[in-house]
Amino acid sequence: MRTIPIVLAATVAALGAVHATAQGSDPNLGRSLAATCATCHGTNGVSVGEVESLAGKPKDEIVRKMQDFKSGAKPATVMHQLAKGYSDEQIQLVAGWFAAQKAK
Amino acid sequence: MSIQRRDFLQALGAAGFGTAAMSGLPGCATMGGGAGGKVVVVGGGYGGATAAKHIRMWSDGGVDVTVVEPNPEFISCPVSNLVLGGSKQIADVTVSYDNLTKRHGVKMVKDMATAVDTDKRTVRLAGGGELPYDRLILSPAIDFMWDKVPALDNADAQAKILHAWEAGAQTVALRNQLVAMADGGVYAISIPVAPYRCPPGPYERACQVAWYFKRAKPKSKVLILDGNGDVTSKGPLFKKAWAEEYKGIVEYRPNHVLTDVDVATRTAKFDVQDSVKADVLNVVPPQRAAAIARSAGVVTANDRWCEVDFLTFESVKVKNVHILGDAIQIAMGMPKSGHMANQHAKVCAAAVVALLSGQAPNPTPVLTNTCYSFITDKDVVHVCSVHQYDKEKKTMLPVPGSGGVSSAMSEVEGRYAFNWAKNIWADMLA
């Protein structure tokens, strides 16, 4: 089991140093995790509504936002509750997958 | 919109044309892993349509997918309570199936699945045909247990005392009853003992009818007759709305387990409590997995619901048959919701594509749920949760400390709710 640096969410600078390349046994893990976000952020992270698209967003930005939602540093209506359901490793993985998608 | 056009597209699909035309689907070439085979999906709702589209996408068009669905268009239950309130029309919650065929090469068969032969692996259709499958996905939703409300066990009675718990003609008919009701009348809704489809749905409906009465028929009342001991979802938020926004309009009565109705007088009868007569009586009957699940032999819990392996959503009892959505025996904290059915569908789709290409399914699936309820036409509250697979207990469990409800209703959440509808309908059907 690899260890992931403990992220102190408010410390944005520290987050830039997080580059865990978590890979499960399933090569499509990032894609499958991202599919849990599609109901509000769109299929493959391309939103057709007013909530933001995630496709093509920098990985570090997505990780930072998720960690800020998790810690409460970033106020939210829903995401502060959902972000707490994902492990730090899963956040890295899903952010990396979205970053690699084409923005439309 | 033309039925002819759909028939034409169906014919294209049936001829194998649709599939050929779709071979240039966008997607990552490594993802399909060479998956092939035939999948039949029964039901084109939140579970079935999502599964069909994602199997096509994730197999790079390699897996042949046929959806059996009797309705010509998808009509959403989520948001349909706004049609009862009058701020939306049924057309606003209706989406075409055309893109499943045009963009994704899904074959749509407008028919009803009547039986499954799990040895021969075929699905029989009401129209007479048979469809062979390598893997069958049942997303059949629910049937009503009319034997629990005997007077409603016939079509005439069901046309008078409506459920409107499947969106469409029933929704429009209930709206018409509300419009026809004189000011000063009583609308009563009977809620079954949980589990039932969409836990907060009846309470949202009470709010939407109250929203309409407050503006159009201010002397009228909304009476909630709940089979449960308390509000089953978002309780404090709904109770606040009834006490403030709808003060003097909504009355909540718990512990009202319906035993029957008198159709002519629109009277609801209960096991313990006094009978209640209404001007518009809306009965949401007890529910169980739809009959096709029984035919497939996958109804294993309480003679009502289908137990599944949460890594694949395959039946715990019958091989090669997967079940999604409201029909399954839920895990702890898992609502029977459209959002949840969409999430079941993507775990199942990924697993089916993996299994058809000889790979193991994802050992760590994740499900989310976000359910918005409209208090007014704009102000909304939510409940949300995240569920991760627990290897030891072999089930999905809510992540401790995650999820929750709104602190108060807001217009921001109203905008998010409409965003949710757009994105989830696109995730299923675009």
The answer to whether residue A24 sits within a structural domain is yes
Cβ contact A28–B362 (<8 Å): yes
pLDDT tens, B23-40? Answer: 333 333 344 468 899 999
- Look at residue B33 in the predicted model and tell me its pLDDT: 61
No. of H helices and E strands in chain A?
6, 0
**Any residues with CB less than 8 A from the CB of B318 and at least 6 apart, and which?**
B118, B296, B297, B298
B121 three-state secondary structure: coil
A49 three-state secondary structure: coil
Residue in chain B lying closest to A47 (CA): B423
Entry pTM: 0.90
Cβ contact A77–B360 (<8 Å): no
How many residues are given for chain B? 430
Q: Give the domain range for residue A37.
A: 3-99
Mark residue B243 as left, alpha or beta (left: phi above 0; alpha: psi -120 to 50; beta: remaining). Answer: alpha
The answer to whether residue A35 sits within a structural domain is yes
Which CATH number belongs to the domain containing residue A64 in this structure? 1.10.760.10
The answer to whether residue A88 sits within a structural domain is yes
Q: What is the DSSP letter of B410?
A: B
B405 in Cβ contact with B383 (< 8 Å) = yes
The answer to whether residue A62 sits within a structural domain is yes
B169 in Cβ contact with B48 (< 8 Å) = no
CA distance B403 to B234: 12
CA distance B22 to B60: 9
**Residues of B in Cβ contact (< 8 Å) with A30:** none
pLDDT reading at A22 higher than 90: no
Chain-centroid distance of CA B176 in Å reads 23
| Pairing status of strand B122-125 against strand B130-132 | antiparallel
Give the one of B342, B363, B406 whose C-beta lies nearest to A77's C-beta: B406
One-letter-per-residue 3-state SS of B296-354: CCCCCECCCEECEECCCCEECCCCCEEECHHHECCCCCCCCCHHHHHHHHHHHHHHHHH
One-letter-per-residue 3-state SS of B194-255: CCCCCCCHHHHHHHHHHHHHHHHCCCCEEEEEECCCCCCCCHHHHHHHHHCCCCCCEEEECC
B315 in Cβ contact with B323 (< 8 Å) = yes
Preferred mutation among B28, B46, B402 to probe A, highest tally of A CBs within 10 A: B402
CB-based contact, B401 to chain A, within 8 Å: yes
**Any residues with CB less than 8 A from the CB of B387 and at least 6 apart, and which?**
A85, B331, B333, B334, B366, B367, B368, B369, B396, B397, B398, B399
- Look at residue A91 in the predicted model and tell me its pLDDT: 98
Distance from CA of B334 to the nearest CA of A (A): 14
- Look at residue B113 in the predicted model and tell me its pLDDT: 98
In sequence order, the β-bridge partners of residue B258 are B270
B136 in Cβ contact with B142 (< 8 Å) = no
- Look at residue B34 in the predicted model and tell me its pLDDT: 80
What count of other Cβ atoms lies within 10 Å of the Cβ of residue A10? 13
CA distance B370 to A79: 10
| CA distance to B2, B131, B190, B204, B335, per residue, from B81 (Å) | 27, 36, 15, 7, 18
Average pLDDT, whole number, for chain A? 82
- Look at residue B296 in the predicted model and tell me its pLDDT: 98
Q: In what order do the strands lie in the sheet with B64-68?
A: B107-109, B64-68, B38-42, B135-138, B321-323, B314-315, B308-309
B399 in Cβ contact with B387 (< 8 Å) = yes
The answer to whether residue A80 sits within a structural domain is yes
Q: What angle do CA B304, B305, B307 make, to 5 degrees?
A: 145
B350 in Cβ contact with B137 (< 8 Å) = no
CA distance A5 to B4: 59
- Look at residue B35 in the predicted model and tell me its pLDDT: 85
pLDDT tens, B182-223? Answer: 999 999 999 999 999 999 999 999 999 999 999 999 999 999
Give the one of A32, A38, A47 whose C-beta lies nearest to B362's C-beta: A32
Higher-pLDDT residue of A15, B320: B320
Using 50, 70 and 90 to split pLDDT, how confident is the model at A104?
A: confident
Q: What angle do CA B186, B187, B190 make, to 5 degrees?
A: 130
The answer to whether residue A104 sits within a structural domain is no
- Look at residue A14 in the predicted model and tell me its pLDDT: 32
B37 three-state secondary structure: coil
Q: Which helix (H) or strand (E) holds B358?
A: none
pLDDT reading at A23 higher than 60: no
Alpha helices, DSSP H, located in A7-87: 12-15, 29-34, 38-41, 59-71, 79-83
At residue A11, what is the residue type?
Answer: T
CB-based contact, B175 to chain A, within 8 Å: no
CB-based contact, B368 to chain A, within 8 Å: yes
Number of structural domains (chain A) is 1
Residue in chain B lying closest to A35 (CA): B346
Q: Which residues of chain B have pLDDT under 50?
A: 1-32
At residue B376, what is the residue type?
Answer: T
